Amino acid sequence: MNQETKRATAPSMEEVAQAVNRYEQRCGERFAPRAVLFDMDGVLFNSMPNHATSWVQTAQTFHLDMTPEEAYMHEGRTGADTINILMQRRYGRPATEAEIEQIYAEKCRLFNACPTAGKMEGADMVLARVKAAGRTICVVTGSGQQSLLERLQTGYPGYFAPERIVSSKDVKQGKPNPEPYLCALEKTGLKPHEAIVVENAPLGVTAGVAAGILTIAVNTGPLPDSALTSLGADLLFPSMTLLAGGIDAILSRGA
Ligand code: CA
């Protein structure tokens, strides 16, 4: 991926101010963030390389074409939906139930054989700043794995209360539908202009924007920034480390 398509620096104070103004015009309310809603894969954990590798290998096994970049574009989609898109393109028809089961089983087998994903660099610092600023912390993920809660608690002890975690078990429709983020607002008793979304994937940005929440894209993967900004992300940071340096200024915009 061409480096010129990705910014290397955090947004300036002026860019933050402009983004908040644009957001307030869009939603018709004064931005007053009381909570930060974090996506998990690609934001808190560096798990996307494992997902991309296992998707690409699976696609090769079943003679479906998929590039690593495409795996990142589909991040957050259900396995069945992703498989249907690949089958439709390759064979001009959706996958059968049996095919979905077989292909997704192989993807999961390869993913589970990958080394455990580490924490995303800088995420600790972002969480510490948000907590120090007295704001509520939530996680909103499409994952429904049993190990999810444990992984959050052991990786980031003291930040994620079980009642402030939205997983696939809490919603009927996953991202890009806004339901997961609306569910987080319901759990915290907040309105859209009282929260911030932090997302790394196109479908996640779409969900945050559709929920009416100021959405920060953190481009931790290989996609060009435009894959996130074209979907309405209000601000874009190149990394969680740079977001750690900028989050106080964003939170104080609504103080
Ligand atoms: Ca993600």
The average pLDDT across 89-111 equals 95
- pLDDT band for 15, please (50, 70, 90 cuts): very high
CB under 8 Å to 79, separation ≥6 — which residues?
100, 103, 104, 107, 108
The average pLDDT across 224-253 equals 96
Would you state the pLDDT for residue 188? 96
Would you state the pLDDT for residue 169? 85
CA pair distance 63, 68, nearest whole angstrom:
15
Would you state the pLDDT for residue 168? 83
Closest CA to 138 of 191, 198, 86: 198
Do residues 87 and 80 touch, judged by C-beta distance below 8 A?
A: no
- pTM for the model stands at 0.92
Q: Which residues share a beta bridge with 235?
A: 216
Do residues 196 and 213 touch, judged by C-beta distance below 8 A?
A: yes
Do residues 232 and 249 touch, judged by C-beta distance below 8 A?
A: no
Between 76 and 187, where is the model more confident?
Answer: 187
Do residues 167 and 6 touch, judged by C-beta distance below 8 A?
A: no
* Cα–ligand 1 centroid distance for 75 (angstroms): 7
* Cα–ligand 1 centroid distance for 72 (angstroms): 9
CA pair distance 185, 35, nearest whole angstrom:
9
Mean confidence (pLDDT) of the chain: 93
The average pLDDT across 222-234 equals 97
Q: What percent of the chain has pLDDT over 90?
A: 83
- pLDDT band for 1, please (50, 70, 90 cuts): low
* Cα–ligand 1 centroid distance for 214 (angstroms): 16
* Cα–ligand 1 centroid distance for 4 (angstroms): 23
Would you state the pLDDT for residue 255? 58
CA pair distance 93, 116, nearest whole angstrom:
35
CA pair distance 44, 15, nearest whole angstrom:
25
- Residue keyed to tokens 């580490």: 118
* Cα–ligand 1 centroid distance for 99 (angstroms): 26
* Cα–ligand 1 centroid distance for 124 (angstroms): 17
3-state helix, strand, coil in the chain (%, to 5): 50, 10, 35
- pLDDT band for 48, please (50, 70, 90 cuts): very high
pLDDT, tens digit, for every residue of 140-181? Answer: 998 776 677 788 989 999 999 989 999 888 998 989 999 999
Which residues are annotated as catalytic? 39, 41
* Cα–ligand 1 centroid distance for 216 (angstroms): 12
The average pLDDT across 8-24 equals 96
pLDDT, tens digit, for every residue of 209-220? Answer: 999 999 999 999
